[in-house]
Amino acid sequence: MGKIYIEEKKLLFRRKDELTIIEPYGENCLRCRSTKNGKILDENWTVQDPVTKDSCVITGDEKKATITNGMMSATIEAGEIWYGGIITYYRNDQQILHTRFEGDYTNRNQHVEGDHYQISVVFDSNEGEHFYGMGQEQVDLFDRKGSTCQIIHFNTKSTLPVLYSSLGYGFFWNNPAPGRVETTRNHTMFVADSAYQADYFIYAGETPADVMKIYCDLTGYSPEFPRWAAGFWQCKLRYESQDELLNIAREYKKRGIPIDAIVIDYFHWTEQGEWKFDPKYWPDPKAMVDELKSMGIELIVSIWPTINPNSENYLEMSEGNMLIRTENGQYGTFDFYGQQTFIDVMNPETRKYVWQKVRENYYKYGIKTFWLDEAEPEVHPQQPSHLKYYLGNGSQVAQLYPYYYAKTFYDGLNAEGEQPVVLTRAAYPGSQKFGAIVWNGDIPSTFEALKESISSGLSMGMCGIPWWNSDIGGFLFGDIESDYFRELIVRWFQFGVFCPVMRLHGARKKQSDYVERHPGIIEPSGGDNEIWSFGEENYPILKELIELRERLKDYTCKYMDEASKTGAPIMRPMFWDYYNDEKCYTIEDQYFYGRDILFAPIYKQGCTEREVYLPEGEWINALSKEKVSGSQTIHAHAEINEFIAYIREGSEVLKCF
């Protein structure tokens, strides 16, 4: 039989083999921790100290007690031996979550090793509830209700165990262990494969914006977004040399096309694990940076966390335990131009060591923005329990890797007085505070992937990651001479205009396949990927879209500034501002860019028409300037050189179109 203890601002529930504590954590937020061990650990992982005051009130006795903190409350009922007990969570007076401590015959805590268990927390399902969040993966799914999700990172999948409920609350599973989430019709369940204790936050607000702000109070806010990053980014796999990259930048300027950033992708280095330019192909980095700056172009350089014994840094880093190790001692976790392993960014010594190399070989030339590829990291096979990190076994802490990868560069740049911005392929709760722009990985060049990218961007926004983008055109298998791709690239460019970051990238091919510009070079360039590469008919369309993006800079920066203060994403689901409109919770293929632009992308081959739902109010067609009343679904048309967007009546952003 369990027993409840009331301490100052804490409810404790003790029963056979289990200790549970519920306490306030800032305003309108409760934290629950539960363990089969004898004590609760004070481990916050990436969670910050409370930034607002709680209003905690506790009432009850050893059989039943309630803790109330603003809009959130939880009631614990101590049960008999055969059913253990119950915790019920409420938003105001509405029940939102209900979980039972079953008797001894359940397997919620299955022993793994030492004092770690596979932990499951199961809640009853609510009829009609919608869930949003859980990071990004290649699925055509924004509403997570009725689905399951594996908690793990790999290329194209970055899991953030955060949910927003249509009932007006948020849930953050504060366990960096791989696991899974089930938001099915019969229950909502979170599982950690190996953890000392269950740890989760439940928080509530009147609006989605209120709930997001509490989550960002817990995990942090994005820093100020630099104005240059709000423009167009040019990128490809890959520019092989300094001359090639500069010639592309010069051509953009010659043609009068606005361009704010250009990217040097991987294998510009001498060896994996040597963070420096190969002087054979990049002979004068400072002159390159200076010329780009004179053109108003920011240079971004790819960094990989891979390393192998051929690297000049390998022995020192290996002997210093600055690399990810394997529990069984064998070398190699990623076969890519030979067996590689990864640096262990969870180790503070690794972070300092790598930043000093980057500082010496890139930053001193004026390079201040970095592309953190392989941020998951991409181990093969994806078996976290095989890996040994500074903070523990991978089955317990693997999800933290992208967080500390971004922190490596944030801390280094911040110490130099810079405004950190990093482009990264994975994230974890809190990554946003390190200036992380996340993208959804090496996705294929298909219309299906375009549609899935809409869901990815919206989902990441609901996880507190407002800086997000995809490779415009997709990354893999794009044939730039095919009619299919030439249609796709236009529709994806239209989507890119209304993404937090507009970045063109991809491993392109032609009918003649890859072009080898420098014989014998490791990883030669793919096909051309500049906006004049996709046919004469497409060129003026794409140029006009980039010019529109340039005109939208003030608008974009306005909402990026809002994100840095409130956590509100600029890529917003329909229900963000229309949370009382039930229909807005069911629409997954249109969204708001900021408050005043409603964008409805076309994501099907050969399609020029689609339905668009306009919420209440008056709306202006961005292209035709036709006025339409809201609270209805309309039929919209857009030829290949057109897109579908509606502007809130009275908004000044209309003049940009």
Enumerate the β-bridge partners of residue 592. Answer: 572, 598
Whose CA is closest to 543, among 497, 488, 484, 487?
497
C-alpha–C-alpha distance, residues 32 and 157, integer Å: 28
C-alpha–C-alpha distance, residues 628 and 632, integer Å: 9
Amino acid at 337: Y
Classified as helix, coil or strand, 271 is: strand
Largest interatomic CA distance in the chain = 79
Q: Which residues are catalytic?
A: 373, 376, 442
Contacts of 31 (CB under 8 A, 6+ apart): 22, 23, 24, 25, 174, 199, 200, 201
Distances (CA, A) of 605 to 88, 301, 366, 448, 544: 48, 34, 43, 9, 21
Compute how many other C-beta atoms are within 10 angstroms of the C-beta atom of residue 605.
Answer: 14
Instruction: Please check whether residue 241 is in contact with residue 518, taking contact to mean a CB–CB distance below 8 angstroms.
Output: yes
Instruction: Please check whether residue 181 is in contact with residue 149, taking contact to mean a CB–CB distance below 8 angstroms.
Output: yes
Phi/psi zone of residue 625: left (φ > 0), alpha (ψ -120 to 50 degrees), beta?
left
Q: What's the alpha-carbon Rg for the chain, to the nearest Å?
A: 25
> What's the first-to-final CA gap in the chain, in angstroms?
67
C-alpha–C-alpha distance, residues 101 and 466, integer Å: 37
C-alpha–C-alpha distance, residues 123 and 108, integer Å: 12
C-alpha–C-alpha distance, residues 236 and 482, integer Å: 18
Classified as helix, coil or strand, 290 is: helix
The pair of structure tokens assigned to 99 is 């979980």
C-alpha–C-alpha distance, residues 473 and 534, integer Å: 11
